[in-house]
């Protein structure tokens, strides 16, 4: 997203998704090729980007407004941080929230 902003001086938007998604794919492919070249010269290849995992549908999710998801996940995280700081035994340690389906799952891992 930063590379897109630096190149086009704006953030990608839903209104211009027909233009923005192909441009994001081009930027991603450029970043992938430069990362692959750097990885071939170094011994570490853990930072490689797998281009097959990225597609236009996934990049369209970048264009959506995720403020609601961020506020829900932030609220759950702050709740768990408060429980950890107060040293009470937590009942549910993990909360997974799917922003696409707006569904959350709380997984108890403490006995």
Answer yes or no: do 34 and 81 share one domain.
Answer: no
Answer yes or no: do 8 and 50 share one domain.
Answer: yes
On the question of pLDDT at 91 being above 80, the answer is no
Answer yes or no: do 57 and 8 share one domain.
Answer: yes
Provide the pLDDT for residue 104.
Answer: 76
Provide the pLDDT for residue 90.
Answer: 58
Answer yes or no: do 10 and 34 share one domain.
Answer: yes
Answer yes or no: do 84 and 57 share one domain.
Answer: no
Name the pLDDT band for 68 (thresholds 50, 70, 90): confident
Query: What burial letters (b/e) apply to 22-42, b meaning 16+ CB within 10 Å?
Result: ebbeebbeeeeeeeeeeeeee
Answer yes or no: do 55 and 101 share one domain.
Answer: no
Provide the pLDDT for residue 6.
Answer: 93
Judge contact between 99 and 110, C-beta under 8 A: no
Answer yes or no: do 33 and 72 share one domain.
Answer: no
Answer yes or no: do 58 and 75 share one domain.
Answer: no
What mean pLDDT is predicted for residues 74-80? 83
Answer yes or no: do 87 and 55 share one domain.
Answer: no
Q: Which domain holds residue 102?
A: 67-107
Distance separating alpha carbons of residues 94 and 110, to the nearest angstrom: 10
Structural domains of the chain, count:
2
Residues 3-58: tens digit of each pLDDT: 999 999 998 888 888 898 889 888 888 887 776 666 666 555 555 556 666 676 77
User: Residue 95: helix, strand or coil by DSSP?
Assistant: strand
What mean pLDDT is predicted for residues 88-101? 67
The pTM score is 0.48
């Amino acid at each position: 997203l930063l590379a897109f902003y630096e190149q086009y001086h704006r953030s990608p938007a839903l209104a211009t998704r027909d233009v923005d998604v192909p441009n994001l794919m081009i930027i991603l492919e450029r970043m992938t090729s430069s990362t692959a070249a750097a990885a071939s010269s170094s011994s570490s290849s853990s930072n490689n980007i797998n281009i097959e995992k990225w597609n236009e549908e996934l990049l369209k999710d970048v264009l959506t407004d995720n403020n609601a998801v961020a506020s829900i996940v932030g609220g759950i995280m702050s709740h768990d941080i408060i429980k950890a700081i107060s040293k009470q035994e937590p009942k549910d340690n993990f909360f997974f929230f799917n922003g696409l389906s707006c569904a959350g799952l709380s997984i108890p891992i403490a006995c």
